[in-house]
Amino acid sequence: DGGITQSPKYLFRKEGQNVTLSCEQNLNHDAMYWYRQDPGQGLRLIYYSQIVNDFQKGDIAEGYSVSREKKESFPLTVTSAQKNPTAFYLCASSMGLAGTVQETQYFGPGTRLLVL
C-alpha cells in the first residue's frame, strides 16, 4: 500500500525535552511538509522540503527543526525552545512543488503532542 505514515500517534513531552516526530512516505514524492494545527484553527506551515538535503522555513519554524536525508523521510524535532508545543502535527507529501498543479498534498494520520 502506498501512503504516508506518522508515528507515534500520541507523544508526551516533558519540559525541557526535545522530541522527534516521524514521517515516512512511499509515494516517491519529492516534496514533504510539516503543519501544526491547534483546536479550531487552520493548518500552519512549519517547514517544507522540495528535494533531499534541502528544506525551507514556513510561517512558524521557531522552536522546530527538520532534516531530509532520504527522499522517504522527513522527521520533525520539537525542541525545548518551543514553549507551546501542544498541538496536532500533520505531515504531508506531494509529487511536485508548491505552486504547480502537482502540489496536491497527501497527509499522514497526524501525531498529537501533549506536554506533561
Partner 1 sequence: SQKIEQNSEALNIQEGKTATLTCNYTNYSPAYLQWYRQDPGRGPVFLLLIRENEKEKRKERLKVTFDTTLKQSLFHITASQPADSATYLCAPGGSYIPTFGRGTSLIVHP
Which residues are near partner 1 by CB under 8 A?
A: 33, 41-43, 45, 48, 58-59, 88, 90, 92, 98-99, 101, 103-110, 112
**Choice between 80 and 103, CB closer to partner 1:** 103
**Choice between 82 and 105, CB closer to partner 1:** 105
**Choice between 16 and 40, CB closer to partner 1:** 40
Minimum distance of partner 1 from residue 103's CB (angstroms): 6
Minimum distance of partner 1 from residue 20's CB (angstroms): 19
Minimum distance of partner 1 from residue 38's CB (angstroms): 11
Minimum distance of partner 1 from residue 16's CB (angstroms): 28
CA dihedral 65, 104, 31, 93 (to 10 degrees): 60
Rounded Cα–Cα distance for residues 63 and 113 (Å): 14
Type of residue numbered 18: N
**Choice between 85 and 108, CB closer to partner 1:** 108
Tell me the residue ranges of DSSP E strands in the chain.
Answer: 4-7, 10-13, 19-25, 31-37, 43-51, 54-57, 64-66, 76-78, 87-94, 105-107, 111-115
| Residue closest to 21 by CA, chosen among 33, 38, 3 | 33
